[in-house]
Structures are given as C-alpha cells and as structure tokens.
Amino acid sequence: MLKYFKTTSLSRAVLIVSISGLLLTVLLLESNTCNLADFAGPPPGYKNVYSFGDPDGSYVLLGKEIKNGELIVSEITYPPQHVVEEVPEIPARAERIQKLYIRDNSLIQNLYGHESILIKKSFGWFARWNPYGTTMIANDDGTYIGKMLPLKCSVDSVEKGQILSQPGKRDIITVKCESSSKDIFISRYASGIGLIESSIVYPPGNTALPGMQLLRIEKNLDP
C-alpha cells in the first residue's frame, strides 16, 4: 500500500478509496444480510421511545401487528407540558397510524394514504430517489405551517453498530435528503428496530437541529 501511494497521485488515491467505500455500501445493500424488511420497526409487541429536543416531551412508535404484508405502527406524540399549556390547540397526546411495507425494492411509509420512500435499494450504483417531504414554515404571527417540498435522497452509509444495550451488532443505514433550500434531513435506521435517530442541518453555517433520538426499547405490556 505504501508503494502504491508513492507512485500514484493523492487525488487519484482518494478517488479510488471513495469509489471503494461506495461499492461496499452498494454490496451491503444488495446482500442477503441486509433485507429492507428488517428496517421496518418496531416489531409487533415492542415500542421505541424517543426524545425530540425537549426533556419534557417524548415520541413513541408502537408496533401493533402485521396485516396483509404491512407492519402497522402507532405513532404517539407527547408534547412538552409547557407547550400544551401555552398553546391550547395542541393536545397533550396525539396519535396516528402509519403502515410500513416493501415495494419496488423500497421501504415505504404510508400516512393517511400518502406514501414516502424511507430507504431504497439500488442495483449497480447509488440508491437515489426524489420524494416529497414536509417542513415547518414560520408565519409572521409566530405560528408554523407544514409545507411539502421536493427532496433529493440517497443512502449515505451502511455500517454495523451497537444500539443501546441491545445484544449484538446490527446493520445501520443512514439516509440523507436535501431540499432545494439546502436543508439536509438525516435519518438512521437499525435492523430489527427501525428508526433510531433523525436530525436536520440548516445552512448557512450548517446549524444542526436535534430531531428524534432513540432513548429505549420496551415490550408493550398494554392489552
């Protein structure tokens, strides 16, 4: 390896290393050990509990059942108490149902009939896709409104790692989506668990806004 670097320009070497890393990502995505269905979660009977930037609030994903090849997940938001007190229109608990399923080499999330590709497998090169996402736009009166905007998404990395105190190492896929305003949305998924982290990076200055962070995994004891 040292001899190679002596006879090759640094830029060319970096290019080869970059291509090698990209090829490894593609091979991992196409291998049988990295099944997209493994990243749909949490599985029935388990719930993932997340923080989302305020210690008084939480976000929960609860695996309900598998029906007709779809994983039914209950999404529950508990806003911080001070937000509920300041804004009466915001409920102390909000719940909605999402469906996760595999189609066309993609892990798809369905909310109220609207489909979004969470992860897409690629055969031969980068996994890239162009979905629409929702961002929150501030109004002059201090309120916010959701706005749909086009995104450019790709699988940024595939690696193995330990998640919380869960046994063994898991496959972890990181997805990056960029909007026309250069906002970057980052989501990470772990096999057997589902979403483990999300964040947003805003230009200029690449200011990072913490999103959801997996705190713990619990068995659902509710009937």
Domains and CATH numbers, the chain: 2-219 (2.40.360)
pLDDT at residue number 21: 38
| Assessment of whether the complete model's pTM goes beyond 0.75 | yes
Confidence of residue 61 (pLDDT cuts 50, 70, 90): very high
Buried b (16+ CB within 10 A) or exposed e, 159-186: eeeebeeeeeebbbbbbbbebeeebbbb
Kindly state the tokens that stand for 203: 């230009």
What is the tens place of the pLDDT at every residue in 62-73? 999 999 999 999
SS3 assignment, position 88: coil
- State yes or no: pLDDT of 13 exceeds 50: no
Mean pLDDT, residues 180-191 taken together: 90
What is the tens place of the pLDDT at every residue in 71-99? 999 999 999 888 888 888 889 999 999 99
Confidence of residue 168 (pLDDT cuts 50, 70, 90): confident
pLDDT at residue number 122: 76
pLDDT at residue number 49: 96
More confident residue, 117 or 137: 117
